[in-house]
Structure 1
Amino acid sequence: MSTLYLFASAAEPVFEVARVIEDAQADGWDVCLGLTPTAARWLAGSLDGLAVLTGHPVRWDYRLPGEPDVWPEASAILVAPATFNTVNQWALGITDTFVVGVVAEGIGRGIPTVAVPCLSAAYARHPQYERSVETLRGAGVSVLDGEVGGVGPHESAPFPWRLGLDAVRDWGAVPFGGG
């Protein structure tokens, strides 16, 4: 079975993550869930249940030196919802959080990675955001945003989880029904 690292930032769609994990598992993925520290705080009451659902501990912090890595190697990564802060830190290589550290390293390791940003139109107009999206795309990340990705700012529309899962599948990392 192929392993999907599902990394979520603190944006309202994170509250739907259990359903998304189930959808990814139905697609044939072994899912490992990573959260930004704020997203972990938001989901604090659900972390044990999410760990049972995935069969892996939910991670939001780096492991200590000498501790074993408790997750299998990633076949692909889906970063969704990816907030303004996460996208910019990732593009700039600021790896002070577990999620951003893993996805930044994932670029260098050639792991197929899809990002589905979740931010307001005001954030999307910030000049650094456009530069960050260009940087990530230039590094091989599929950023589903704007004209290239077909996804716009998420102020009221339903978050396109299925689009992100399909994009990871279409990358060729795992077919529907397992890998």
Structure 2
Amino acid sequence: MTSVLYLFGSAAPPVFDLPDVVRRARSDGWDVCVGLTPTAADWLRDRCTALEELTGHPVRSQYKRPGAADVWPKADAIVFAPLTMNSVNAWALGLTSSFVIGVVAEGIGKRIPTVGMPCVNAAYAQHPQFERSVETLRSAGVRMLYGDGGFVPNQPGEKRPYPWDRALDEARRLRS
């Protein structure tokens, strides 16, 4: 039986890697559903059709209407990466105005195994709310891949490969 992975992304440059990440997750046996924050959906507007063809599911960035059927199967795990400072803080504070934040906030209560991996530069990481939010999510059971063994902030403007393998490896571990 195939496990269902919700792969969520917010508006940080690694979100452009999602087609490749979907292929890798599918080759690992996941049935993948892609969800995006509103800004990430705008950034990937020209890639959503390709993502839908890769996954066989619609790309979602908005809540469904009350009474509408859900178009995705239930998640066995969630990976939220890249995760911006705004998304980390909104999630930790329970500010569910966007679809993906609502799903991951509810996922805590449903005990869906969830991995979050930030993508913030060192200047953002210095904001006192950011670290509090990371710790809040960790204490709620979210596997936050930040710091040693996860994403380490880069200097503003510095370009480095995003550690997608760590997020996919952790999702695989949570599935076992």
TM-score (ref. length: structure 1): 0.94
The separation in 2 between residues aligned to 1:5 and 1:48, in whole angstroms, is 17
The aligned residue for residue 161 of structure 2 is 158
- State the AA in 2 paired with 1:79: F
State the identity as a percent: 60
In the TM superposition, structure 1's runs of 4+ consecutive aligned residues that sit over 4 Å from their partners are none
Alignment of 1:44-63 (within 5 A): 44-63=45-64
Question: Does the 8 Å contact 2:117/2:150 carry over to 1?
Answer: no
How far apart are residue 79 of structure 1 and its match?
0.3
Runs of at least 5 residues in structure 2 that lack an aligned partner in the other structure: none
- State the AA in 1 paired with 2:133: S
TM-score (ref. length: structure 2): 0.95
Alignment of 1:1-179 (within 5 A): 1-147=2-148, 149-154=149-154, 155-171=158-174, 173-174=175-176
Q: CA RMSD in A?
A: 0.9
The one-character-per-residue Cα deviations of 1:118-173 (angstroms, maximum 9, x if unpaired) are 011011111000000000000000000013x44211442200111100011112x1
Q: State the aligned residue count.
A: 172
The one-character-per-residue Cα deviations of 1:18-77 (angstroms, maximum 9, x if unpaired) are 000000001100000000000000011111111111000000000011110000000000
- State the AA in 2 paired with 1:75: D
Question: Does the 8 Å contact 2:5/2:30 carry over to 1?
Answer: yes
Relative contact order higher in (CA < 8 Å, ≥ 6 apart):
1
The separation in 2 between residues aligned to 1:63 and 1:126, in whole angstroms, is 34
The aligned residue for residue 177 of structure 1 is none
Runs of at least 5 residues in structure 1 that lack an aligned partner in the other structure: 175-179
SS class of match (1:163): helix
Relative distance call for 1:55 and 1:88 in structure 2 (3 A) is same
